[in-house]
Chains A and B, each alone.
Chain A
Amino acid sequence: MYMDNAKLVNAIKNGFSRSFEDVYFETFEILCSYLRSTMRADVPDAEECAQHALVKTMERVQQDAIRDPDRIYSYMLQSAKNRYLRLRYEQNRSNFQDDMEAYAPIDEQIDALVSRDEENALEECLDHLPEESRTFIDYWLEFPDSRASDVAEQFRISVNNVWTRKHRILKKLSDCIGKKLNQ
């Protein structure tokens, strides 16, 4: 559910409501996923820091203490990140390594983003794609470093169309995965 910054601020100020509840859970999940994938946070730490960020934001909105409401989501993300960094520092105080990398390598981030169930569901959903879409997405997978212009040339479409088509196929796959996981 899209909720721009101003609407989120109003939802928080107006108190408990269904729309706020939806935003709360979606935001909580995405913040947890961010910490788990980029910073290798385990589930309890990610949940604790995500909640900390949400509650802190809610408090500050209530106090009219958010300087720039347009950046409320950015504030939330940084708050969760800082909370996790502080946790990690406190817990590793005795063996804190100066060269500790902040973000996990991308392959680890991707591993953390995708569960085994989602992988299995994707396999099934790929089989249900129309042939044209399957060919298109296979090309992206076969040549992951190709630019949009290369893909456009291969399929004889415009570059804009390349992104539009990719978006449409990803959406179809995403909806399919969602249905399979909720069965």
Chain B
Amino acid sequence: MKINNQDIIKSIDDYIKGNLDERKTDELWVKLLEHPEYYDLLKTEAALKKNRDNKFLRDDIIKWKPGKKRKMTWAAGLAAVLVIGLLLGLIRLVFKPDDRPVLSEIPVRNLASPEIARSDANAMSDFDMALLQAFTYSVYGDTERAKEIYNELLQDNHSSSVLHYNLGILHYNTGDYRSSSSEFTRANCNDLSGRNLVASCYWFSANSLLAIGDIDRARHMAQKTVEMESSYQKEAFELLNRME
């Protein structure tokens, strides 16, 4: 929806002054999505305010108060794994362990987009362009075309964690679990950018390894998932329980 220039400038002014409630703030951001040229103006006005505030304070430096940091719970996760291990070691299970994968398929929204900053978009290499193309085909459901592009890149000796991770997902969703687990291994999950992506990689890897019957490595990947804070932590706990 085209809007009046003045309206958005006034909204930005109100926003910077702290006069917008959450609903109005969201409305402004929607306008910025529709008209990205005003996003830069918002940042400029924000910078002006900071500039003014810096000049009027006694101290020259303003420390931004960080938001609530998540507590490090990796130790808690590890402790929980150890406790579960001990308990399971003490109990003789009557039931046969359940080592089926949890995931029947991996939703494509878990694909990793190429790590290309906006400022670099105009200088994208052929490799980055191909990665983006493959990513887009994957999202559109043209899995075969996406796999073709990724495999062409591999044959040309290109490699990246994102490429292997995405191929792992595509193979999983076409039932080729052996190729899937191989790609997740080659992705080297720790090399991916961002905690959530790393956790996803561990979790999907655990499922693909289970699917090919590699129980020990699947357990290891499930444990790595448990150690990280993520939306998969609970499922990974439950999987470890089932597997013993």
B50, A44: Cβ atoms closer than 8 Å: no
A31 at the interface (CB under 8 A from B): yes
Which residue on A lies nearest to B35, using beta carbons? A2
Give chain A residues whose Cβ lies under 8 Å from the Cβ of B54. Answer: 119
Q: Which of A31, A95, A119, A167 contacts B50 (CB 8 A)?
A: A119
Instruction: Tell me, in angstroms, the Cα distance from A40 to B68 when the chains sit together.
Output: 8
B37 at the interface (CB under 8 A from A): yes
B140 at the interface (CB under 8 A from A): yes
Which residue on B lies nearest to A70, using beta carbons? B1
Interfacial residues of chain A within 133-183, with CB under 8 A of chain B in the complex = 137, 140-142, 144-145, 148, 160, 163-164, 166-167, 170-171, 173-174, 177-178, 181-182
B139, A31: Cβ atoms closer than 8 Å: no
B41, A4: Cβ atoms closer than 8 Å: no
Interfacial residues of chain B within 177-197, with CB under 8 A of chain A in the complex = 193-197
Shortest CB–CB separation between residue A21 and chain B, in angstroms?
7
Q: Which of A43, A77, A91, A160 contacts B29 (CB 8 A)?
A: A77
Q: Which of B26, B36, B51, B139 contacts A1 (CB 8 A)?
A: B36
A64 at the interface (CB under 8 A from B): no
The answer to whether residues A58 and B140 also contact, given A4-B1, A102-B22, A104-B67 and a CB cut-off of 8 A, is yes
Q: Which of under 10, 10 to 19, 20 to 34, or 35 or more describes the interface residues of A?
A: 35 or more
Give chain A residues whose Cβ lies under 8 Å from the Cβ of B40. Answer: 174, 178
Q: Which of under 10, 10 to 19, 20 to 34, or 35 or more describes the interface residues of B?
A: 35 or more
The answer to whether residues A25 and B116 also contact, given A87-B196, A118-B47 and a CB cut-off of 8 A, is yes
B158 at the interface (CB under 8 A from A): no
Shortest CB–CB separation between residue A28 and chain B, in angstroms?
8
B47, A26: Cβ atoms closer than 8 Å: no
B46, A73: Cβ atoms closer than 8 Å: no
Which residue on B lies nearest to A113, using beta carbons? B46
Interfacial residues of chain A within 1-39, with CB under 8 A of chain B in the complex = 1-5, 15-16, 20-22, 25-31, 33-34, 38
Identify which of B71, B73, B113 gathers the most chain A CB atoms within 10 Å of its CB.
B113
Chain B interface mostly helix, strand, loop or mixed?
helix
Shortest CB–CB separation between residue B204 and chain A, in angstroms?
15
Instruction: Tell me, in angstroms, the Cα distance from A114 to B51 when the chains sit together.
Output: 10
B52 at the interface (CB under 8 A from A): yes
B70 at the interface (CB under 8 A from A): yes
Interfacial residues of chain B within 13-41, with CB under 8 A of chain A in the complex = 13, 15-18, 22, 25-26, 29-30, 32-37, 39-41
The answer to whether residues A48 and B196 also contact, given A119-B51, A167-B9, A174-B44 and a CB cut-off of 8 A, is yes
Stretch from B87-95, B130-138, B210-218 contacting the other chain: B130-138
B153 at the interface (CB under 8 A from A): no
Q: Which of A4, A47, A114 contacts B194 (CB 8 A)?
A: A47
B163 at the interface (CB under 8 A from A): no
B70, A164: Cβ atoms closer than 8 Å: no
Instruction: Tell me, in angstroms, the Cα distance from A90 to B229 when the chains sit together.
Output: 9
Leading 3 A-B pairs by shortest Cβ distance: A40-B67, A44-B194, A106-B18
Interface residue ranges, A against B (CB under 8 Å): 1-5, 15-16, 20-22, 25-31, 33-34, 38, 40, 43-45, 47-48, 51-52, 55-56, 58-59, 62, 70, 73-74, 76-78, 81, 86-87, 90-92, 94-95, 100, 102-108, 110-114, 118-119, 122-123, 126, 137, 140-142, 144-145, 148, 160, 163-164, 166-167, 170-171, 173-174, 177-178, 181-182
